[in-house]
Amino acid sequence: MSINTLNLKPKKTYAEQLAILKSRGLEIEDEALALHALTHHNYYRLSAYRLPYTLPKAPDRFIPGTQFGQIWRLYVFDQDLRRLAWSACESLEISLRARWAYVLAHSLNDPLAYQNQAYFNGPGFPETRRRLEEDLRQSHEPFIEHHRRKGLLWPPIWVVSEVITFGSLTRLIRYHNEARIRQQIADTYALDERSFCSIIHHLALIRNKVAHHARLWDNPPNVRPMLPKKATAALLKTLDYTPAGQGKVYNSLVLLAHLIQCIQPGDPWPHAVRDHLHTLDSALLPRLGAPGDWSSRPLWAAL
């Protein structure tokens, strides 16, 4: 046995894992469901959803009366919330790609502006350009291979926009050294460029979290978005600017709803989010960051 494994806990069967939960005070009202969940979703993945239901000073002890079904419903709620967030980030990414390419190509009159360091600030630009070059080299998209056959390492920006990653895209927008360029992009989404750049950075991290199936509902990225001071009245009155709301997922959802309405007015996504939040136990809303009057705030109430 390796010395590195001497202090590891012994492996447990699903039945043994269930017995541990019972010993900590969790009521198992449907053992078949609980065993099925452990089989397909992993004990440690599910265990993160126990936190709202454990004693404050004893995180391994459940509040008396807590049932496995409560943890499972919260898990499923977060699973569906991640799907919603993924869908919104996908729409935002496609829109940002199109707007970024158009603004840089037309405002700078340079189809290769994205690879010219003269247009960018920030120590991260060389690494972003290196990653983009690697993505282009590995791409098998017909339009990329067409330019490669012509001997063009750097295709025009309107071609590159179709293969750039969301992370690289948000960095190139944020790193651009002219505020007027950043603002031209931000104008599309009715935001000022400073808060816009912070918001898309935050949402790129949300997307990465969702892409890796990480817990979302009460586990936002460490990088908080700069909430706008000038925006539509509906957005300003729907965001939660209080210390309790800062950095919580509720504000991320509000920002995504605003962006989706800019991208495709009438899209059902904000409705779906509002309805989904109504399925969460109201006692858990503060952990998500939703204020008590969240559903009556303008952005949601107008739906």
Supply the pLDDT for residue 4: 58
Which pLDDT score, from 0 to 100, does residue 147 have? 83
Is 79's pLDDT higher than 80? yes
Q: What is the pLDDT of residue 153?
A: 76
DSSP state of 184: H
Say yes or no to pLDDT of 3 above 90. no
Write down the pLDDT at residue 182: 98
pLDDT of residue 137: 87
Nearest 5°: CA angle at 16, between 15 and 17?
90
Q: Retrieve residue 239's tokens.
A: 């965001």
3-class SS of residue 279: coil
pLDDT at 291: 97
Percent of the chain with pLDDT over 70: 98
Quote the pLDDT of residue 7. 66
| pLDDT 10s digits, 19-35 | 999 999 999 999 999 99
**Rounded Cα gap, residues 201 and 151, in angstroms:** 33
Residue 262 CA to residue 271 CA, distance in Å, equals: 15
- Cα 268 from chain centre: 19
> Residue 2: what pLDDT?
52
70: Cα separation from own chain's centroid: 24
Mean pLDDT of the chain: 94
**Is the pTM higher than 0.75?**
yes
67 pLDDT band, cuts 50/70/90, is very high
Distance CA 25, CA 22 (A): 5
- 6 pLDDT above the threshold of 60: no
CA atoms within 13 A on the CB side of 56: 0
Q: What is the pLDDT of residue 1?
A: 47
pLDDT per position as a tens digit, 198-237: 999 999 999 999 999 999 999 999 999 999 999 999 999 9
Q: What is the mean pLDDT of residues 292-297?
A: 97
Instruction: Give the pLDDT score at 10.
Output: 87
Contact status, residue 238 vs residue 231, Cβ threshold 8 Å? no
Residue 187 pLDDT: 98
Map out the domains of the chain as residue ranges: 11-66, 75-301
pLDDT in tens, 149-181: 887 778 999 999 999 999 999 999 999 999 999
